[in-house]
């Protein structure tokens, strides 16, 4: 799949053959408008997208947390002031840290898991309600 600048569909523009492109997976993307998304499956991207990946495995939940923090600063960038490599280098992405000052991935994971658990419970309750009403 080809990831490019865009708010919708996680920045996925189209599905293409990746034969002549650098292929990524398990990464966070940030486009020129500071739209950030997590991509687990293989993808390639154009030059309007930065790819954040790690040499160490990071859970999907931790990447979702980091991407959400990045998206909080979206209003600072636009067509006139595009998010590029130098923007990333200056961008302070505030994450929870452990007692040694390292990113605390466990807190990030647990936070996202709790949100997903609560959201799933609400969806199930809504589904049960609709089903009890006869599908209306």
Q: Where are the domains of the chain?
A: 2-95
Burial class (CB in 10 A: 0-12, 13-18, 19+), 56: exposed
List the chain pLDDT tens, one digit each, 136 residues: 888 888 877 888 766 665 678 899 999 999 999 999 999 999 999 888 999 999 889 999 999 999 999 999 888 886 778 888 988 899 999 999 999 999 999 999 999 999 999 888 889 988 898 888 875 5
Contact 14/21 with Cβ under 8 angstroms? Answer: no
Global confidence as pTM = 0.82
Contact 78/33 with Cβ under 8 angstroms? Answer: yes
Tell me the per-residue pLDDT of 88-119, one tens digit each, with 9 for 90 and over.
Answer: 899 999 999 999 999 999 999 999 999 999 88
Q: What does the angle CA 116 – CA 49 – CA 94 come to, to the nearest 5 degrees? A: 50
The continuous run of DSSP H or E covering 106 comes out as: helix 105-132
3-state DSSP assignment of residue 117: helix
Question: CA nearest 113: which of 79, 37, 78, 62?
Answer: 62
Q: What does the angle CA 125 – CA 65 – CA 128 come to, to the nearest 5 degrees? A: 5
């Amino acid at each position: 799949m080809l990831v490019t600048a865009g708010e919708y569909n996680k920045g996925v523009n189209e599905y293409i053959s990746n034969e002549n492109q650098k292929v990524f997976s398990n990464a966070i993307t940030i486009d020129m408008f500071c739209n950030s998304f997590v991509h687990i499956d293989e993808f390639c991207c154009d030059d309007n997208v930065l790819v954040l990946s790690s040499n160490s495995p990071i859970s999907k939940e931790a990447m979702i947390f980091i991407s959400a923090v990045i998206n909080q600063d979206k209003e600072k960038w636009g067509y006139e002031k595009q998010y590029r490599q130098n923007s990333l280098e200056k961008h302070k992405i505030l994450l929870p840290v452990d007692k040694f000052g390292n990113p605390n991935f466990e807190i990030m994971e647990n936070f996202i898991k709790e949100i997903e658990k609560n959201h799933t419970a609400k969806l199930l309750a809504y589904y049960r309600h609709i089903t009890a009403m006869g599908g209306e």
